Structure 1
């Protein structure tokens, strides 16, 4: 009976693993992204969450805030990762991988493999967190380049709103965030930029500020000041672009200086300690055998 149960659980686990593998492969297929773009252009957008996905989300909502993870999913999708997925997909994947870990622990009977259950549950969320952090890092890295492009557009006589629209079609998560600001302005009727004494903030400042990244909030306020300055905007934006480039260069230099302190623990953990352990085993095993 236990053998039959193990076979059934293993079959279900393999089926789920196949589904996850196909989803992972589709995510990296250009044609799949084109299909999603076509659906978005036809107004279909993303598919609604199924009952299973809603149930999985309800389960995870008991343990942590889903709003934070929704924001992280948007960050990941701005960088072109996890396109077409919903938070319900990720919650369902988490339960599926946790189930696979349970199957593995039950079939093998090895107690330590019970750790595969929490590891399987955490894997999709860790992957999402990593993708979101990578997107935020890429956004900070792209700030000087986008600022330079906007400055060049303003110097050519392009209105600030049009300069932002052109920057929003560039690749990268920062352009995706600008596109979100354009969408927010269109849906709410807010202007992209607004003076400091205006009753409401401009769409760019509003969208960038709520992401919780200080560098983005500062950039949005600088862009807003440039936009409302009129003729002086091009000169001010050039200064902003140069300042951002200098700040990023200083950040890179600090990271290079900190590289030694970060790499030595890794070397010790993966090379030095295993080497010492092998030496001890080689010398202690014969000595213990002689006793």
Structure 2
């Protein structure tokens, strides 16, 4: 099955489904499997310890697929920033066709990527930020609803409103992100005017995802209410799976005297989250997850998942069309 949307035309993929960049998860095994299944796989640049390691990972992905894939580069304020420019240089030098960006991306990053012929997909949580990114030349906006894992912003707007609002305001294609885990979600996104979807959590529960089987099983077992919002008092809201660590973070943040980042830093360290993903202890660290966990009930291969989603999407859209009749 093949779809024809601005997303598929710009990126050369068959199905309008993007695997978003995820720290520690966006590796060659997963990205190549998504691309081979007809979607757009995404390597996460900062999962690799150095730009040179990213170059090697890109080469490894190319050995596993001859279909398009991208590289995610998320730029965040930090006391000791990684060499973002060198990671971008590695992706450009390797001829990666798509760059997924998020965060505080410098304007010259967009300019350099465009000059190299890359399609730029930028993730935003508000329409005003999306408009700003459009002015800076991005090709596709991924708009993240409040349902999303990671950092869904501070305005708490769900995708049912945010996606069509972005479609109305923007002239570049919009793809829907946050809480999407099946073909019905893809159909809904297309009906709202989006050119496709961006999924993260759903791809964590696939056979090819490079994380421990116990973590995948935890995602299958979780319901839609089994996520926590942390960092709310810090105005840096993040959605993660409910577990001992995230429950403790929430409890600390709710203390009457308040909390600082230093109060929870030992709990939210990235090294602890990586250990959880790789070791399988679901209470060892933060596990980033969207409300789409309520839609996950199996651990298919990426090919099985995308084939099923395409079929479900077609069936839902056909059923919706059949329900409409002239008076």
TM range (shorter): under 0.3
Greater strand content: 2
**Length-normalised TM-score, structure 1:** 0.24
Larger Rg, first or second structure (1 or 2): 1
TM-score (norm 2): 0.22
The answer to which structure has the higher helix fraction is 1
Structure number with higher relative contact order (C-alpha < 8 Å, ≥ 6 residues apart):
2
